[in-house]
Structure 1
Amino acid sequence: MKQWLFRFGAFFIAIALLAGCGTDEAGNTDTKNNQPSENQEAQEEQADETVLITISKDDGAEYLHEKEIPIEEGAILMEVMEENFYIETEQNGEFITSIERLSAKDGEKKGWIYTVNGEMPNVGAAEYKLKPGDKVVFDFQAWE
């Protein structure tokens, strides 16, 4: 009888220890004060250090590509585009004429217009300095 009680007690102690060493609902093993783990903080900080670039056409009627790109504050938009998309430029690299091989045909009055956070900047992509969290849209549309 004593052996049975001893085994029964040891079983419950083992269960209690395992439950105490478990993870919280978010999967964190650090449950002190419900603080996120260092790894989660690093991932959230990295997510904040990105821009979202969307490539579309005809005023957003068709989405061609969307990419979240890590940047450092002050990164130049044209350089980020050159590093992450196939682009062609004119006028000493100041004006984007083609993104991902989409460009205006001869005589067609279409071009690439870009906005940042829903507003059209007063400078070209070669001069625009990005900030983490910016949402950039390049749209291929009629300019007439």
Structure 2
Amino acid sequence: MNKTKKYTLVFIVVCFVLIGGAGIYHACFAPSQTSQPVVKTPVEQEVIEQEEKTEQESKQETEKSQQTPISKDKESITQKQESQTTQQTETTSPSKTETSEEETTPSHSTETEEETEIEEVSSVNVTITGVDSVMAQDYIEFEEGMSAYDALKILADNYDMSVKVSGVGQAVYVKGINGLNEFDYGGRSGWKYKVNGSYPSVGAGSYVLKDGDQVEWIYSTNG
């Protein structure tokens, strides 16, 4: 084999090595075409933006169409509630007026009846006067046939005062009231009674009172 053939063979081997190395480099290290960004023309970009805008508008219209019935339903419900409230107010007003009138009339009649009852109540004024001061005084309800002694006993019971007597019925004689007895202030001391400012000539058990009488029991120290 001559030198020319050797060189030719070496050259061919080197070429194959270079070609193989270049292929391996491009396969491993060269950026792939798929990873490169796609460059769009202005027309394509405008078309894409227009499509996206149309999709957004359609979505908004769909949302509005879904919300509108709800708001309309709310408005109708509110209007119904207002109309019902107005009807109830119109219906209630006359009844309140009638009720107030009905309540007012009986109250006036009740007050009139109470005043009549108060005016019709009969009473007598009874006073118990001790040595130095009034021991008890009040109006008591009058009853037909009430005696001066009966009036004294009712007033004494109301004031939790004791009454000491002798005799019974029309012959009753008052000896002491609330611990203040006859002869406590001498031999002529004791209890007397007046009716309308005068001393009756009969005993307290036999003196029949009248409506409005003024009865006064007085402890006298000199008879």
Normalising by structure 2, we get a TM-score of 0.48
**Whole-Å separation in 2 of the counterparts to 1:12 and 1:79:** 59
**C-alpha spacing 1:53/1:13, structure 2 compared with 1 (3 Å):** same
Question: How do 1:22-33 and structure 2 match up within 5 A?
Answer: 22-23=103-104, 28=107, 30=109
- Shift of residue 90 of structure 1? 4.8
Aligned Cα root-mean-square deviation (Å):
3.2
- Shift of residue 125 of structure 1? 0.9
Which residue of the partner structure matches residue 56 of structure 1?
129
Cα contact 1:117–1:135 (8 A) shared by 2: yes
Which residue of the partner structure matches residue 65 of structure 1?
136
Q: 2:179 aligns with which of 77, 82, 101?
A: 101
1:17 equivalent to 2:98? Answer: yes
Which residue of the partner structure matches residue 205 of structure 2?
126
Q: Which has the higher contact order (CA 8 A, sep 6+)?
A: 1
Structure 2 gap segments, 5+ residues each = 1-81, 157-161
Q: Give percent identity, aligned residues only.
A: 23
1:74 equivalent to 2:150? Answer: no
**Richer in strand (by share):** 1
Which residue of the partner structure matches residue 113 of structure 1?
192
**C-alpha spacing 1:19/1:91, structure 2 compared with 1 (3 Å):** closer
Higher-Rg structure is: 2
SS at match of 1:30: helix
Normalising by structure 1, we get a TM-score of 0.68
**C-alpha spacing 1:137/1:106, structure 2 compared with 1 (3 Å):** closer
**C-alpha spacing 1:107/1:42, structure 2 compared with 1 (3 Å):** same
SS at match of 1:22: helix
**Richer in helix (by share):** 2
